[in-house]
Amino acid sequence: MIKLRLDDSVCALTEDNENKVADAITKVLSTIPPHRIVTRLNVNGTRFSSQTQSQILEESIESSHDIEIQTADKAIWAATGYDIAISCIERVQKSIIRSAELFRESDKLNANRLFVQCIEGLERFIEAITITKVAVNLDFSKTSIDGISLSQIETDLQQILKSVFTFQQEEDYQGLADKIEYELLTNLSNWCQALKFLRSQQNANA
């Protein structure tokens, strides 16, 4: 049977009402008060990925999974989310530049090690901006900076990362370095510019 926790509390499951894992999660989410916001959904100790773990949602609650939903104060994220997201970008940018240099120098071992850390940093950024988006009720499609919508910047980042992983799998390290330097770093700069603008607007309206 699945074990489902909401923050520090274990949630009781009744098979009469929840037949699938998705049903159980939906019921628990409906109990979260309005001032709280979901920050992470962990499945078996790792963050849930709809791309690789969607089949789990269709399984019976009799299946064996450890699911944890973490929440935080919505107002705190609304007030600090832009700062957190910008900080994530600024921390990872120098490492991304260095990893591209190492790929060009054919120091594949150290380049790959460093780039794994960069990807982890980018995952933290994506998590932060996703939570902030909900906390401040931000519509990416209706928010543009210099004529580029946040939804487009978000889509570009997803496509860039997909290409990066393809170059990595094919061991095309020169192509990977080009993609990092000319596209990934530009995308992160666009994010940083947009988020700083939104932060200034938020502070002006405070």
104: exposed, middle or buried (Cβ count in 10 Å: 0-12, 13-18, 19+) = middle
Strand ranges of the sheet holding 9-10, from the earlier edge strand across to the other edge: 9-10, 3-6, 66-73, 36-43, 46-47
pLDDT of residue 16: 61
pLDDT band at 65 (very low <50, low <70, confident <90, very high): confident
> Mean pLDDT over all residues of the chain?
90
pLDDT band at 45 (very low <50, low <70, confident <90, very high): confident
Rounded CA-CA distance 32/28 in Å is 7
Select the more confidently predicted residue: 51 or 162.
162
Give the rounded distance of the alpha carbon of 195 from its chain centre: 15
Residue with tokens 């393809």: 166
Q: What are phi and psi of 16, to 5 degrees?
A: -65, -35
pLDDT surpassing 70 at residue 18: no
3-state secondary structure of 38: strand
pLDDT surpassing 70 at residue 15: no
For the chain, list the strands marked E by DSSP. Answer: 3-6, 9-10, 36-43, 46-47, 66-73, 144-145, 148-149
Extract the tokens encoding 143: 């928010």
Give yes or no for a contact between 88 and 118, defined as CB atoms under 8 angstroms apart.
no
pLDDT surpassing 70 at residue 129: yes
pLDDT of residue 126: 94
Average pLDDT over residues 8-22: 77
Select the more confidently predicted residue: 185 or 55.
185
Rounded CA-CA distance 150/144 in Å is 6
Select the more confidently predicted residue: 149 or 45.
149
pLDDT of residue 46: 84
Average pLDDT over residues 98-103: 94
Give yes or no for a contact between 95 and 102, defined as CB atoms under 8 angstroms apart.
no
Average pLDDT over residues 178-201: 95
Which one is the CATH code of 3-74: 3.50.50, 3.10.450, 3.40.50, 3.10.20? Answer: 3.10.20
pLDDT of residue 52: 64
- Against a cut of 0.95, is the pTM above it? no
pLDDT surpassing 90 at residue 58: no
